[in-house]
Amino acid sequence: MKEEKKPTMIEAVGRNIYEKVNGEWRWVSKEEDYYFVEDKDSKDGVGLWGEKLRKVVGRRGIDLYSRSFEQDLSPLWRYCLREKPKLNLDKHVLYFDIEVGVGRASELQDYSQEIVSIALTTNHTGYSVVIIKADKELNPEDIRVVRVSNEREVIQKFLKYVRYFNPDVLTGWYSNRFDIPYLVERGKRCGIDVLKNLSPFRKVAIKKGRQSTHALPDYIVRGLEVLDLMDVYISVLGRPVVGLSLDAVAQHHLGVGKIEVNRNDIRALLEEDPEKLARYNIRDVTLLKELDARLSLIGTLAERQQYAPLPLHEIASNSRVIDYLYIEEAHNRGMRVPSKRREWNAERETKFSGAMVLQPEAGVWEDVAVLDFKSMYPSIIVHENLSPEVHSSEELGIFPTIVKRLMKIREKYKSMEQTPEVRRKYATAKGLVNSAYGVIGFRNFRLFDQRIAEVVTSRGRELLSRTMEFLKSIGYEVVYGDTDSLFVPGVNDPEQLASQVNNSLGDNFEVDVNYHFSRLILLGKKKKWIGMTHDGKIEMRGIVTVRRDMPLILKDYFSKAIRCLISERLDDYNKLKKQMMDFDPSMVSISELVERTKLTKGNQNTYWARAVENTANIFGYRYLVGEEVPWIFIKDPRLEVIAIPPDTPDEEILSRWEVDWRKIVDRWFLTPLKDLERVLIIPQRKLEDFSNGCN
């Protein structure tokens, strides 16, 4: 008998559950709506702490939410927890990108410009097409073009192609903040409900008032995962050091970027050279597909479905996966979990002592071994049997059981040949293990437990202190310690030292050699150090060059300056400083000079918040909370800073203001280097003073 293929997607429409197999949706279940409340005379269920529970059938109201059990579980979660479906992780992805008549950011926020083209391509078939509103005939031999006469037809053709391709995932770059909202609004003006037409079930859930983060959209299109590939990138790899533009990220990872066009007048390009616009549009979606293939972005997100077989948008954070695993293990033991709280009292807001971080003495040390405890906090959770429901030590608790299983899976993939698939699986397991402690100390987690969080950090501090005492007993000093790492100078054989430490720790804990530095500089502040390995590699923490908001042009220069300093090549160091001071900023793109800072609600008195206000007043474009703001110092005593609106040509900025290179160099180059010079105790006569010279 031929084995049936696994579903690629699972979805709930109301209480009805559907699975997508071979591209077809099929109904599999209709779930009952219910929850539990405490009732000492009932035998319907048992809570984590032995409570007797009564099952309540019906709609999930909010009146008993804070003292009920599993009232927050959706029909889809109930189905998956009971049936444990196995999903196919190979998703059919459709990449798309829209082009609008005028690219100037201030003219896009009111949705006043027409959509003139949309490009699409898929990861499964390689089929690519661009739908373009053009008067001229287009017959390029190497790209597929569909020519239409108006914007309504552009949108209709786009929706027709989505239905034809029948993807599991629809994604673009910055698409949940621009492309999708723009399509929705322009669709309304054309009498088209875009979101409803994207759904195979014609059902959409809108989540109002929530900022999109970590690949979570503000709307859920039933039967289609609408994800922003930029958010997925951030969720999987973190914020890119090169900035968040598709061109910069593609250049960084693929060595190729977008086709250069005048983004401020797409309409003129459409009239003069529609074929170039079509190629420009197709290049964007090709970059999306190649980035996803190279970095396995959607694939890494899908790996979480091995642990929690839910829609991707439901498990875009590790805490959701661990929540699912906890409930699953509780059900395996015949227990019901408390409903996730919606309101928090003051007791849940109290702070507790964190990890041990030693105050380092500024200075330079030689032959420094950095010993790292392997999974210190997860190991403590398992060893101490720390779990919210644990009554005794006779049986391993739910949380330690989950953590132990995840650690075993991580080690399994770590020991295998590191193919791209294995690396993806290892990274997923490692991420879940590393999140295990974090969720217990996270107030929004279902089973937030301050007691456990305090015990874990307390045991961690004790473990570091005990290890420091052992090192002292065998003749070593610890010059710095941070959470699960100890810095030990004067070590010729770090592996032998690690073996000695492990023998003293017993079977439950273990250290690895993370680094062996020939030279280590401690700046006298916590989490700030620079080390050079014996093969000349530089590692840094807390130094400006590893910060993502540092201007790109300065990263390489700053790294070179540090290498010169740590090697005491002072002539080269002085030459490099002079080169920086004499640098002409007009020789490079503004994108290499800007700082990039995420705008939050609490930073109104910062340079970047002022830059946002200045740009809103001058250009009519306002960056929103949660967005990354590129901003720069300018020689204007009234403004001082300006944020760069998206797709604004350098010429438009430079025709108004001169870049204040002196402030940029002082902030990111000269001032941070002075701390290093002081630690290294380099006589001032050996250093040239550049404090007054700058173009």
Residue 293: strand, helix, or coil: helix
Comparing 414 with 239, the larger pLDDT belongs to 414
Q: pLDDT band at 340, cuts 50/70/90?
A: confident
pTM attached to this predicted model: 0.85
Residue spans of the domains in the chain: they are 9-87+309-343, 93-303, 363-542, 570-686
Name the pLDDT band for 213 (thresholds 50, 70, 90). very low
Q: At what angle do helices 570-581 and 552-566 cross, to 10 degrees?
A: 160
- In the chain, what is the straight-line distance between the N-terminal and C-terminal CA atoms, in Å? 78
Q: Which segment of 56-65, 278-287, 444-453, 642-651 scores lowest on mean pLDDT? A: 56-65
Q: What's the pLDDT score for residue 491?
A: 95
pLDDT (mean) for 547-568: 84
Q: How far apart are CA 72 and CA 446, in angstroms?
A: 10
Average pLDDT over residues 396-409: 94
Mean pLDDT of 608-619: 92
According to DSSP, residue 545 is labeled: G
Q: What letter would DSSP give residue 265?
A: G
pLDDT over 60 at 692, yes or no: no
User: Does residue 154 surpass a pLDDT of 90?
Assistant: yes
pLDDT on residue 63:
52
| pLDDT band per the 50, 70, 90 thresholds, residue 107 | low
- Kindly report each contact of residues 678-685 with a partner whose C-beta sits within 8 Å and lies 24 or more positions away, as own/partner: 678/362, 679/362, 679/363, 679/364, 679/521, 679/522, 679/523, 679/524, 680/364, 680/521, 680/565, 680/566, 680/568, 682/565, 682/568, 682/570
Taking alpha carbons only, the member of 563, 581, 642, 570 closest to residue 608 is 642
Please, which pLDDT band fits residue 346 given cuts at 50, 70 and 90?
very low
Is CATH 3.90.1600.10 the classification given to domain 363-542? yes
CB atoms within 10 A of CB 87: 21
Query: Over 50: is that where the pLDDT of 209 sits?
Result: no
pLDDT in tens, 673-688: 887 888 775 544 455 5
Q: Which helix (H) or strand (E) segment is 364 a member of?
A: strand 363-373
Condensed to tens digits (0 to 9), the pLDDT of residues 136-150 reads: 877 777 789 999 999
CATH number of the domain at 9-87+309-343, please?
Answer: 3.30.342.10
Does residue 217 have a pLDDT over 80?
A: no
Q: What is the dihedral of CA 100, 104, 110, 116, to 10 degrees?
A: -10
pLDDT score of 210: 44
- Token readout for 233 is 């990138």
CATH of 570-686, one of 1.10.132.60, 3.40.50.10540, 3.40.50.1980, 3.40.50.2000: 1.10.132.60
| CATH of span 93-303 | 3.30.420.10
At 486 the pLDDT is 94
Q: With bands split at pLDDT 50, 70 and 90, how would you rate the model's confidence at 106?
A: low
Residue 287 has pLDDT above 90, yes or no: yes
Q: What share of the chain is helix, strand, coil (3-state, %, to 5)?
A: 40, 20, 40
Q: Say yes or no to pLDDT of 695 above 50.
A: no
Q: Is the pLDDT of residue 657 over 90?
A: yes
Looking at every residue in the chain, the average pLDDT score rounds to: 87
The residues pairing with 25 across neighbouring beta strands, listed in sequence order, are 20
- CB neighbours of residue 328 within 10 Å: 18
